[in-house]
């Protein structure tokens, strides 16, 4: 297939480029600003004219739309930028995809939910975001569906990958300098490895079953549990992780963002289709750490 990737220099985009190329797809990788160098073409998703020109020339079969304003505290402080990139940008990408008859994979988030359900969220639960990041991503989902007939919305959670800033790297860096790590213990979700997400997306796009998919690794944990697993698996298990509340975190790190307390997603669409589930987060973390070590990242 001919696949156009937005946000190709980002954490997900970097693994998507490698994996999809290895699978034999023909790629056009795009991103904004200084990241657009070498094999990555410059493309700002808020520029509809540029999108139409690039899409018209490449004529993708599928657009993997990973570009987003992902800084959740930044979104909270600047909701207009959040909506310009995550809502308008996704709308424009969807319109440009529709114009050339392409399918669209719009990556979204567990932050579209408020976390109050008390059970895993399915694709059929009504979203109710409690942050500007979540609201802007939900607006992007809805606009994408309206603008492009062939839209897969793929919601994922607590994403980490070898390339990019992420929670495991932050914990490892802090563990080398701090006697104890204060980490949130009252938010429960599911860490998801970029490689597993890309592999599942490449299966989803084989069938024309457009709609919403929840794609995360299996199981659930708190951020504090996740931190402990990272440290234990890297020989730093002696560094204590002190569980703190979300309120303590907000005060300590001056974070303005409300986050869902329980945002675990059931992969109900994949389940109903009889697809294999993704592996547990703990097993995926082992693979991530092995790759990060191999590539000299940790
Ligand atoms: N990270 C998570 O925990 C998580 C969880 C759930 C869902 N998601 C979703 O997964 C997707 C990928 O996330 P990620 O963590 O890989 O994000 P990322 O590393 O921040 O990558 C996003 C990329 O999009 C680029 N971008 C920003 N504004 C753009 C614009 N106007 N035009 C074109 N590109 C633009 C960014 O460039 P700059 O860096 O220069 O801004 C960056 O290279 C996003 O849709 C995100 O919302 C992420």
Residue 38 pLDDT > 90, yes or no? no
The 10s digit of each residue's pLDDT in 149-185 is 999 999 999 999 999 999 999 999 999 999 999 999 9
**Distance of CA 3 from the midpoint of ligand 1 (Å):** 18
For residues 231-243, give the mean pLDDT: 97
Residue 183 gets the label, from left (phi > 0), alpha (psi -120 to 50) or beta, of beta
Per-residue pLDDT reduced to its tens digit, 172-227: 999 999 999 999 999 999 999 999 999 999 999 999 999 999 999 999 999 999 99
How close is the Cα of 264 to the center of ligand 1, in Å?
Answer: 21
Residue 155: which H helix or E strand, with range? strand 151-156
Radius of gyration (C-alpha) of the chain in whole angstroms: 19
Instruction: For residue 57, give the 3-state DSSP assignment.
Output: helix
81 half-sphere exposure, CB direction, 13 A CA radius: 11
pLDDT digits (tens, 9 = 90+) for 43-61: 999 999 999 999 999 999 9
Whether 30 and 36 have beta carbons less than 8 Å apart is answered as: yes
Structural contact between residues 115 and 165, judged by C-beta atoms closer than 8 angstroms: no
pLDDT for the residue 186: 98
CA distance 288 to 284: 6
Mean predicted lDDT score pLDDT of the chain: 97
Q: Give the single-character DSSP code of 35.
A: G
**pLDDT (0 to 100) of residue 34:** 80
The reported pLDDT for the residue numbered 37 is 82
Percent of the chain scoring above 70 in pLDDT: 100
DSSP class per residue in 103-149 = EEEEEEEGGGS-S-SSSPBPTTSPP--SSHHHHHHHHHHHHHHHH-S
- The mean pLDDT value for 240-248 works out to 98
Confidence of residue 35 (pLDDT cuts 50, 70, 90): confident
Report how far residue 121's alpha carbon sits from residue 101's, in angstroms, rounded to the nearest whole number: 31
Number of Cβ atoms within 10 Å of the Cβ of 271:
12
**Distance of alpha carbon 215 from alpha carbon 12, whole angstroms:** 13
Asked whether residue 64 carries a pLDDT value surpassing 90, the answer given is: yes
Query: Ligand 1: which of 68, 134, 257, 259 to mutate, judged by most atoms within 8 Å of the beta carbon?
Result: 68
| CA 26–ligand 1 middle distance (angstroms) | 22
- In this structure, the strands spanning 221-222 and 192-193 are unpaired
Q: Which atom of ligand 1 is nearest to the CA of 137?
A: 47
Among the listed residues 141, 54, 138, 139, the one whose alpha carbon sits nearest the alpha carbon of residue 102: 54
- Name the residue among 264, 251, 163, 261 with its Cα closest to residue 214: 264
Where does residue 241 rank: exposed (0-12), middle (13-18), buried (19+ CB within 10 A)?
A: buried
Distance CA 29, CA 39 (A): 7
For residue 218, CA distances in Å to 58, 263, 286, 287 come to 36, 13, 14, 14
* Ligand 1 atom with least separation from CA of 33: 40
**What token pair was written down for 80?**
């207009």
Phi and psi torsions of 127, nearest 5°: -70, 155
Of the candidates 147, 136, 168, the one whose C-alpha atom is nearest the C-alpha of residue 100 is 147
CA separation for the pair 45, 84 (Å, rounded): 9
DSSP-assigned letter for residue 236: -
User: Domains in the chain, start-ordered, CATH in brackets?
Assistant: 2-166+190-217 (3.40.50.720)
* Cα distance between residue 250 and residue 71, in whole Å: 15
Atom of ligand 1 nearest to the CA of 107: 45
Per-residue model confidence (pLDDT) at position 273: 96
Verify whether residue 210 is a known catalytic residue.
no
Residue 250 pLDDT class (50, 70, 90 cuts) = very high
């Amino acid at each position: 297939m001919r696949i156009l990737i937005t946000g190709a220099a980002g954490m997900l985009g970097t693994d998507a480029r490698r994996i999809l190329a290895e699978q034999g797809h023909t790629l056009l990788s795009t991103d904004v600003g200084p990241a657009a160098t070498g094999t990555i073409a410059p493309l700002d998703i808020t520029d509809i004219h540029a999108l139409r020109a690039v899409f018209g020339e490449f004529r993708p079969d599928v657009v993997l739309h990973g570009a987003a304003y992902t800084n959740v505290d930044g979104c909270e402080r600047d909701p207009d930028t959040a909506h310009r990139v995550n809502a308008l940008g996704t709308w424009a990408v969807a319109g440009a995809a529709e114009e050339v008859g392409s399918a669209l994979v719009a990556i979204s988030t567990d932050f579209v939910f408020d976390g109050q359900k008390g059970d895993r969220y399915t694709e059929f639960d009504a979203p109710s975001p409690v942050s500007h990041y979540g609201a802007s991503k939900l607006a992007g989902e809805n606009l994408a569906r309206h603008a492009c007939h062939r839209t897969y919305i793929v919601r994922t959670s607590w994403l980490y990958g070898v390339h990019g800033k992420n929670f495991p790297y932050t914990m490892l860096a802090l563990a080398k300098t701090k006697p104890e790590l204060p980490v949130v213990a009252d938010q429960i979700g599911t860490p998801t490895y970029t490689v597993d997400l890309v592999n599942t997306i490449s299966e989803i796009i084989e069938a024309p079953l457009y709609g919403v998919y929840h794609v995360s690794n299996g199981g659930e944990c708190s951020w504090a549990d996740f931190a402990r697993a990272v440290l234990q698996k890297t020989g730093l298990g002696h560094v204590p992780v002190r569980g703190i509340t979300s309120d303590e975190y907000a005060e300590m790190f001056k974070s303005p963002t409300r986050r869902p307390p329980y945002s675990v997603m059931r992969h109900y669409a994949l389940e109903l289709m009889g697809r294999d589930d993704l592996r547990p987060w703990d097993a995926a973390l082992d693979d991530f750490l092995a790759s990060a070590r191999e590539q000299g990242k940790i």
